[in-house]
């Protein structure tokens, strides 16, 4: 995991809204949308779509979603209001103009998906998500399976060389080569993000890479949710607090 200096988030205040030339990078689940029992249970909302659309206008398209979800899922949940986006922890990457970069899937992915499917068949409530470039094992509906799922995921990672990416009640085995920090850094090399203030907003351990990248590039991270040790410099309580902050951000920026 990331290694920058981390602090207990109880020391962190809400992020400022009066910022010069901000670029905003947003995780999806737990940040723009509440966590749900299954991935498909997260649906578009009129409020989220409006907030993102208006923010893009105010910030001259300097808004991107960086998520573990696929780009197709990002588009579904944001109702197409996120033009710039990076999916599967940076393995898919789309510019504001719609041009797309996508990694090549590791050949071990199909074998891992089958192994996870076999595990899920023996553990009711466990779900397998095939993202093409990665495979996710969701156990939110079967928390008692968490220890066995982690053991299997570690074994598969060791056998295949895939990267194990733990998340909130999910274990993901993904094609190596990217993370949310690298995705943010790539955005910051190109217009309209170049030479602006990067802000990463996230809730999960996978977002720590983004927090650190934003800080290295002169910006900061915003942790969403309960207090914990983090590289973020600010904190917001929950999804409604994020949407409220985004509504205030960028006026006069």
Q: What distance in Å separates the CA atoms of residue 117 and residue 124, rounded to the nearest whole number? A: 11
Q: Cα separation of 124 and 74, whole Å?
A: 27
The residue annotated as part of the active site, out of 27, 106, 203, 207, is 27
Kindly report the three-state secondary structure assignment for every residue of 103-154: CCCCCCHHHHHHHHHHHHHCCCCCEEEECCCEEEEECCCCHHHHHHHHHHHH
Task: Read off the DSSP letter of residue 40.
Answer: G
27 is catalytic: yes
Helix axes 208-216, 180-187, angle to 10 degrees: 40
Distance CA 196, CA 237 (A): 26
**Active-site residue set:** 27
């Amino acid at each position: 995991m990331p290694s920058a200096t981390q602090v207990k988030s109880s020391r962190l205040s809400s992020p400022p809204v009066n910022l010069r030339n901000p670029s905003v990078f947003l995780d999806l689940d737990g940040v723009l949308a509440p966590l749900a029992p299954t991935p498909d249970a997260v649906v578009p909302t009129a409020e989220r779509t409006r907030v993102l659309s208006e923010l893009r206008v105010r910030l001259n398209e300097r808004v991107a979603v960086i998520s573990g979800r696929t780009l197709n899922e990002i588009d579904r949940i944001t109702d197409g209001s996120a033009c710039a986006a990076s999916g599967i922890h940076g393995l898919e990457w789309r510019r504001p103009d719609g041009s797309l970069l996508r990694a090549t899937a590791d050949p071990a992915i199909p074998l891992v998906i089958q192994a996870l499917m076999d595990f899920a068949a023996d553990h009711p409530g466990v779900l397998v998500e095939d993202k093409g470039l990665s495979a996710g094992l969701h156990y939110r509906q079967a928390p008692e399976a968490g220890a066995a799922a982690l053991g299997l995921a570690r074994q598969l990672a060791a056998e295949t060389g895939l990267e194990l990416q733990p998340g909130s009640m999910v274990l993901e085995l993904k094609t190596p080569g990217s993370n949310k920090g690298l995705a943010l850094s790539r955005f910051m090399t190109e217009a309209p993000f170049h030479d602006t203030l990067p802000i990463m907003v996230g809730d999960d351990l996978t977002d720590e890479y983004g927090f650190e990248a934003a800080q290295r590039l002169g910006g900061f991270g915003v942790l969403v949710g309960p207090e914990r040790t983090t590289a973020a410099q600010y904190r917001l309580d929950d999804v409604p607090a994020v949407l409220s902050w985004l509504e205030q951000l960028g006026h006069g920026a």
